[in-house]
Structure 1
Amino acid sequence: MSETSRSGGKPATINDIARLARVSKKTVSRVINHSPSVKEETRRRVEAVIAEHGYTPDPQARGLALKRSFLVGMIYDNPSPNYVVNMQQGVLDGVRGSGLELVVHPCDRASPTFLDDVRNFVVRQKLFGVVMPPSVSEDERVVAILNEADCPYVRIASVSLDEPGAMVVTHDSRGAARAARHLAGLGHRRVAFISGPGTFRSSHERGRGFREGLAEHGLELAADLVRQGAYTFESGVEAARDLLALTDRPTAIFAGNDEMAIGVMKAARDLGLEVPGDLSIVGFDDLPMASRVWPNLTTVRLPIRDMGRMAAEKLTAGLRGLDPSALDQPTVDPQLVERDSTAAPPR
């Protein structure tokens, strides 16, 4: 398969497009791959020349010209293995049939070699593109590395951090507000919150949404009822033990993710408390384990697998002749899933 033009004459080449648009060949390449580093005016000019001459790059020819592999990278730093597995499955769904394969790169943002490791991974693998779940997606240093390497990317984050073609926005605050409304509606007034790590934007967005939801019912999140966790089961256990040791303990706890929420369940049981009779618990994510523990966990459903698929589809849109920036913004609207771990507070 060769690069062709709709005119039926001699096929246009990337050099022809660069010359006619008065830009470098590298800039044309960036426009084709929807790199966010290209100025909008330049992008429109190049796209107009491409449309006029019917230039359609062949994926294999592009791979050779750009010296890229047929690999999509997923760079992540997330302590929840269930979250990571679901995200991987979604990315695989999104690249299926494209001829691309997935390669994952777990990392530690606190490591002194973090940025060098990411740079070496991107350059060594000659990646077609990168999907970034939180919290790596929130790190502008990583974005700078990808732009320097002319490597396309899509970020998944709780708020918009980039242009639409490079984002899947999950609106975490909306889901947390729904959790707050649910607990307040059941009659809870002394409600606790266990956040995720401070380095995760989602921790702050879920906390913000939870406070806003409580405020709608005239409630405030008391400072003595807030603990910081690490998005792990163990941190949920520890934070819950601390909260439940208070003289005036909470009647409900909202945990920033399901793993911590299940840790709260263990801490409650260890103290002889009944869930939800003595303590209501709400999680976030709706991982498969949420419907397998007892009692089944009330939680906020975040479609993690769908999010990975949406990101991969945006990344590979060019292979299907689509412009990611022109695609509809994926709808991620976290919904509360009511199960058996919440009830009215004890009298």
Structure 2
Amino acid sequence: MNEPTKAGARPATINDIARLARVSKKTVSRVINSSPSVKAETRARVEAVIAEHGYSPDPQARGLAFRRSFLVGMIYDNPSPNYVVNMQQGVLDGVRGSGLELVVYPCDRASPTFLDDVRGFVVRQKLFGVVMPPSVSEDERVVEILKAADCPYVRIASVSLDDAGGMVVTHDSRGAARAARHLAELGHRRIAFISGPDSFRSSHERGRGFRDGLAEHGLILAPDLVRQGAYTFESGVEAAHALLGQPDRPTAIFAGNDEMAIGVMKAARDRGLDVPGDLSIVGFDDLPMASRVWPNLTTVRLPIRDMGRMAAEKLTARLRGLDPADLDQPTVDPQLVERESTAPPRM
């Protein structure tokens, strides 16, 4: 048999590396996947043989060994393209250098075939793991599909819905409370809220936090100052027109995300209102567009790209034989970013 070291010989296989390093095939696999269970001396010997013979593991063979592909799926149903792109960039940051690749799967939770479509995607792709941003992350039916397929997952959500190894918690209510305090401390008393859709847990958490923040200043959110949006620019415009058309219009509006907040800006301009002189506006997420509109948008910063990276790192930890729950990751803590869209109300 030709040795893999000879010119023109066949490429080295994992069996060759195991034989030459005097270890098992499983040990070679553990070295390749950076498992901490391999002794340093053994790891050095295997890595030396790999380097000498130029061995490179075949991704398809690795996938067969795991009985799955080396693909990470991002399953999402989110109407904000900016949010999705930022999340996707974060997941790519997290899998870079791991041998895993990202495949994105947009879906519609309202579709009658939603669950069958997700199940088919997971089974067809033989996914190594799945990252789920809201609102898919909040759907227990999807979680059950992934468990049945023995597919690891990480959920990104405003509250804890799972064990630590499968969660990135964003604490949306904290950020919304900070938005409420900011407007109250500026002197606003008639403050409106445009929520996201009911199907998003984040919409409820942001509303709850906003009410709590107002209550700290002795304020309540009047029912006539609440409108529901859809986390889209268009829904922000529509909801703002309804609020600003009232005889006793609000002096400040907190929108549940930046897309809707920028829609509020347009509605204010359509009505000849000055921002922030006649109307203060606060958004949520701090997407790149928040600092590109005029006036620059005061908003609550949620580190979306970091959240995607943290979720992906919990999946890649499994490749290294680590428990995702043991990763030393920072807590997501939404912070208010004050810009030019808020000011004290005119007397």
Q: Same fold judged by TM-score > 0.5?
A: yes
- Counterparts of 1:52 and 1:306, CA distance in 2: 31
What is the match of residue 132 of structure 1?
132
- Counterparts of 2:140 and 2:25, CA distance in 1: 36
Contact 2:90 2:305 in 1 (8 A): yes
- Counterparts of 2:330 and 2:154, CA distance in 1: 12
- Quote how far apart the aligned CAs of 1:65 are: 2.9
Given the two structures, how large is their TM-score scaled by the length of structure 1?
A: 0.84
- Counterparts of 1:310 and 1:339, CA distance in 2: 28
Does residue 1:104 correspond to 2:121, yes or no? Answer: no
1:228-260 C-alpha deviation (Å, 9 max, x unpaired): 000000000000000001111100000000000
1:200-232 C-alpha deviation (Å, 9 max, x unpaired): 000000000000000000100111100000000
Query: What secondary structure is seen at the aligned counterpart in 1 of 2:193?
Result: strand
Query: What secondary structure is seen at the aligned counterpart in 2 of 1:131?
Result: strand
1:155 alignment partner AA: R
- Counterparts of 1:119 and 1:290, CA distance in 2: 36
Counterparts of 1:176-325 in structure 2 under 5 Å? 176-325=176-325
Contact 2:310 2:329 in 1 (8 A): no
Contact 1:168 1:330 in 2 (8 A): no
The answer to which of 318-327 and 168-177 deviates more is 318-327
- Quote how far apart the aligned CAs of 1:279 are: 0.2
- Counterparts of 2:132 and 2:163, CA distance in 1: 15
What is the match of residue 85 of structure 2?
85
Query: What secondary structure is seen at the aligned counterpart in 2 of 1:230?
Result: coil
1:212 alignment partner AA: D
1:209 alignment partner AA: G
2:84 alignment partner AA: V
Contact 1:168 1:329 in 2 (8 A): no
What is the match of residue 340 of structure 1?
340
What is the match of residue 65 of structure 1?
65
Paired residues in the alignment total 311
- Counterparts of 1:244 and 1:219, CA distance in 2: 20
Over the matched positions of the two proteins, sequence identity in percent amounts to 83
What is the match of residue 331 of structure 2?
331
- Counterparts of 2:89 and 2:272, CA distance in 1: 38
The answer to which of 313-322 and 70-79 deviates more is 313-322
1:156-188 C-alpha deviation (Å, 9 max, x unpaired): 000000000000000000000000000000000
What is the match of residue 173 of structure 2?
173
1:263-319 C-alpha deviation (Å, 9 max, x unpaired): 000000000000000000000000000000000000000000000000000011022
- Counterparts of 1:125 and 1:259, CA distance in 2: 33
2:252 alignment partner AA: A
Query: What secondary structure is seen at the aligned counterpart in 1 of 2:75?
Result: strand
Pick closer, same or farther for the CA change 1:319–1:187 going to 2, 3 Å.
same
- Counterparts of 1:52 and 1:297, CA distance in 2: 51
- Quote how far apart the aligned CAs of 1:62 are: 5.7
Name stretches of at least 5 consecutive residues in structure 1 with no aligned partner: 15-31, 33-49
2:137 alignment partner AA: S
- Counterparts of 2:67 and 2:324, CA distance in 1: 22
Counterparts of 1:29-68 in structure 2 under 5 Å? 63-68=63-68
Name stretches of at least 5 consecutive residues in structure 2 with no aligned partner: 1-12, 28-32, 44-56
1:75-129 C-alpha deviation (Å, 9 max, x unpaired): 0000000000000000000000011111000000000000000000000011110
What is the match of residue 53 of structure 2?
none
1:278 alignment partner AA: D
- Counterparts of 2:279 and 2:38, CA distance in 1: 65
Contact 2:14 2:25 in 1 (8 A): no
Query: What secondary structure is seen at the aligned counterpart in 1 of 2:69?
Result: coil
- Quote how far apart the aligned CAs of 1:322 are: 2.0
Contact 1:164 1:329 in 2 (8 A): no
Contact 1:107 1:114 in 2 (8 A): yes
- Counterparts of 2:235 and 2:320, CA distance in 1: 44
Pick closer, same or farther for the CA change 1:215–1:293 going to 2, 3 Å.
same
